[in-house]
Structure 1
Amino acid sequence: MNTGWSLYVIILVVINIVGCAWLLWVTSRRRGNDGKNTAETTGHVWDGDLTEYNKPLPRWWINLFWITIVFSIGYLAWYPGFGNFAGTSGWTSAKEHDAEKAEADARLEEAYGRFAGMAIDEVAKHPEAVAFGARLFANHCAQCHGSDARGAKGFPNLTDNDWLWGGSPDQILTTLLQGRQAAMPPLAAAIGGDVGVTEVTAYVQSLSGIKADPALAEAGKARFAGVCAACHGVDGKGNPMLGAPNLTDDVWLYGSDFATISEGINKGRQGMMPAHEPIIGDTRVRLVGAYVWSLTHGKDAAAQATP
């Protein structure tokens, strides 16, 4: 807060406190010499004997207001609230937040600590750990993958067995810890412009059994082998080391229609999975990984955990 705003707050607080004190003092003066309430009337009389009086507040009520004013002055001396004055206690909302966070982290670490360093398929054998992971997933992952983990356009479905970067426990853990960066470059110029994009699109559709023009698909096969096969393989089955998807199945991250595929070839794709180790730490990442693993291996994990 700069000096100008600080002075504004100070003046406003002083005016309010002094104004309240003045109002109470004026009200207190409206008493007789004996200290009792004077019986002044407003001049309004009904039915001959029903008179409206204008009496001051009772003494006990006024004293409560004086106590409130004294309390407010003490509060402003102890806590910040008087402009830039920090208060004699040194309290700040940031310090309180940090203290509460440290206390909460200690409790969570006690609950999560026994799963530290475990492989996610081992963690998945513990129902409590999977429940922890589900809540962490809802907080940190559902924004992209959905609350049911079925994903959306551009965000993978985690409930099937199709994995861009590999579906082993170590590969999933690496994805969560370090993140992933897709690198599908614009390829229109490399494969022959609009004609090449059309032909390769037709060939890619034919790989997964989608009906496509045979002549265009055949022409696109040679272009695919010369450029696209470097990542997706000659057979189009992809490469988990590069995050290159399998083009021969029926799983499509962005869509399988002609326009969507040709757009991806023409403009490229730059999907990004952020690294979560810096965000939630190694142990919590393993709990999330255990939950993700359980979505496709839940029955297997439960069977192994059963004596």
Structure 2
Amino acid sequence: MSAFWSWFIILLVVVNIVGLVALLFATARRRGGDGAGSATTGHVWDGDLEELNNPLPRWWFGLFVLTVVFAIGYLVLYPGMGNFAGRLGWTSGAAAADELREANAKLETLYAGFRGRSLDALAQDPKAVKIGRNVFANTCAACHGSDARGAVGYPNLVDDDALYGSDGETMLASVMRGRHGVMPPLAATLPDGGVDEVAHYVMSLSGRPHDARLAALGQPRFETICAACHGKDGKGNHALGAPNLTDDIWLHGGGDVAAVRAAITDGRSGTMPAWASVLGEDRARLAVAWLLSQNPQRAGAPSAAPAAGAQ
């Protein structure tokens, strides 16, 4: 704060206090003599009912004086007069830092009890699961939903399908380091109706309604272009985050021909941000433990994908 504004605030505070004290003592004096009915406002009702203008009772006046004394004492001890820091040297920043250190000390004690244990073991610990549920709700639910079952474009985290692998360590790597999945637009590489043909072939892989003739034409195109990521059988590739096209789980859209055609034509891009700097490993592990607890069959699943950076 500049010196000008500091002195401006000091002057403003002093003028207010002096003005309030002057007003207080001015209204404390009795007016119009000593008679009980002499200090009136001049207002009369019903002929003889007068409105008196007496000073405050002494006990009430004393309370006002005490508030002024308290205010002056506060301004001497604590900041409030421009750049004057107060005799105690208190600052809101220092107070917040002290509270943060105290909170971190408590959290350190709490998280220390969960370190060194496997994610599968934490998924069986009610206390760890409860804390992990809170971490997930505060951090992850905005995208994946409060029940972790996702939405269009945001994967379900508690089913048996996972783009990069469903074991705890792979899920932890996704949380800590993030994921970036990209499917390039392929319309230019599939001319002469190739997009429709491949779309119908993809629909046939999961047994959904499709045009058999177009699907037959799309199969060689799929095996030439799409199999590099999704595999010749269409079952995907965890190492690349390429989805399984033979099941009935669809991340983008409802699994109809139009949605598949749009994905082939325009491509898809999805980013899961890295949360290591926000959550830290302790809280991330507890969040993953909660996810594992929602589908116990996933605990102990074989790891299929390394930690992913930007792909």
TM-score normalized by structure 2?
A: 0.85
Q: Of residues 243, 246, 249 in structure 2, which corresponds to 1:248?
A: 246
Give the partner amino acid of 1:21. Answer: V
Aligned match of 2:81: 82
1:236-280 Cα distance to aligned partner (Å, 9 max, x none): 100111111100000111121222222222222221122222211
RMSD over aligned Cα atoms:
2.8
Q: Does 1:22 align with 2:22?
A: yes
Distance 1:121 1:223 in 2: 42
SS class of match (2:188): coil
Distance (whole Å) between structure 2 residues aligned to residue 91 and residue 201 of structure 1: 68
Counterparts of 1:102-117 in structure 2, within 5 Å, are 102-117=101-116
SS in 1 for 2:295: helix
**2:263 and 2:171 mapped to 1: Cα distance?**
25
Structure 1 partner of 2:211: 213
Structure-2 separation of matches of 1:206 and 1:95 = 64
After the TM superposition, which of the residue ranges 241-250 and 40-49 deviates more from structure 2?
40-49
The answer for the alignment partner of 2:197 in structure 1 is 199
1:79-158 matches, cutoff 5 A: 79-158=78-157
Unaligned runs of 5+ in 2: 301-311
User: For 2:138 and 2:106, how far apart are their aligned partners in 1?
Assistant: 18
SS at match of 1:189: helix
* Residues in 2 aligned to 1:10 and 1:16: alpha-carbon distance in whole angstroms: 10
Alpha-carbon distance, 1:38 to partner: 9.1
Q: Tell me how far 1:300 sits from its aligned partner.
A: 7.6
Local SS of the residue matching 2:269: coil
Q: Tell whether 2:289 aligns with 1:286.
A: no
Are positions 1:66 and 2:65 aligned together? yes
User: Whole-Å Cα distance in 1 between the matches of residues 280 and 31 of structure 2?
Assistant: 69
How many positions carry a matched residue from both structures? Answer: 299
Contact 1:181 1:273 in 2 (8 A): yes
1:137-193 CA distance string (max 9 Å, x none): 11111111111111111111122100111012221221222221112222222333x
- In structure 2, the partner of 1:304 is none
Distance in structure 2 (CA, Å) of the matches to 1:3 and 1:232: 68
What SS does the aligned partner of 2:155 have? coil
The aligned runs of 1:179-194 (5 Å cut-off) are 179-192=178-191
Give the equivalent residue in structure 1 for 2:306: none
